[in-house]
């Protein structure tokens, strides 16, 4: 099973905990400005969690169970969902693949 993690520069970082392995990552651009990073990750163990870490000196960390994330049976399904999330009419958006983990 796969999930999509979202991190926003200068706001928060989604970090997979044990039992979750990143597969590929994308930078999301809105009218040429980078707005977020998306990571498709494979969930290897039930009960896994994702840490959401606020940016800044006193940033808090929240440990979120994967039950709160939409799940996809394949990487391709997650890619299609990601594409749908960032596409709206003629708005200038793009995803740029930035990393692949084998």
pLDDT in tens, 31-82: 999 999 999 999 998 889 999 999 988 889 999 999 999 999 999 999 999 9
Q: How far is Cα 20 from Cα 32, in angstroms, rounded to an integer? A: 31
Report pLDDT for 100.
Answer: 58
Sorted by sequence, the CB contacts under 8 Å of residue 37 that are 6+ apart come out as 6, 7, 8, 9, 25, 26, 27, 28, 98
Angle at 17 between CA 14 and CA 19, to 5 degrees: 130
Runs of H (alpha helix) within 1-100: 75-86
Report pLDDT for 15.
Answer: 95
pTM over 0.75, yes/no: yes
Least confident of 21-30, 35-44, 71-80, 91-100: 91-100
Report pLDDT for 14.
Answer: 96
pLDDT exceeds 60 at position 101: no
pLDDT exceeds 70 at position 89: yes
Report whether 75 contacts 50 (CB < 8 A).
no
């Amino acid at each position: 099973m796969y999930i999509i993690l979202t991190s926003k520069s200068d706001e928060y970082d989604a970090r997979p905990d044990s039992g979750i392995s990143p597969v590929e990552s994308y930078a999301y651009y809105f009218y040429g400005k980078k707005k977020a990073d998306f990571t498709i990750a494979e969930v290897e163990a039930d009960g896994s969690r994702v840490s959401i870490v606020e940016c800044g000196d006193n940033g808090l960390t929240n440990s979120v169970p994967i039950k709160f994330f939409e799940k996809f049976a394949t990487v391709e399904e997650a890619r299609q969902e990601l594409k749908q999330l960032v596409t709206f009419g003629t708005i200038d958006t793009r995803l740029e693949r930035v990393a692949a983990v084998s």
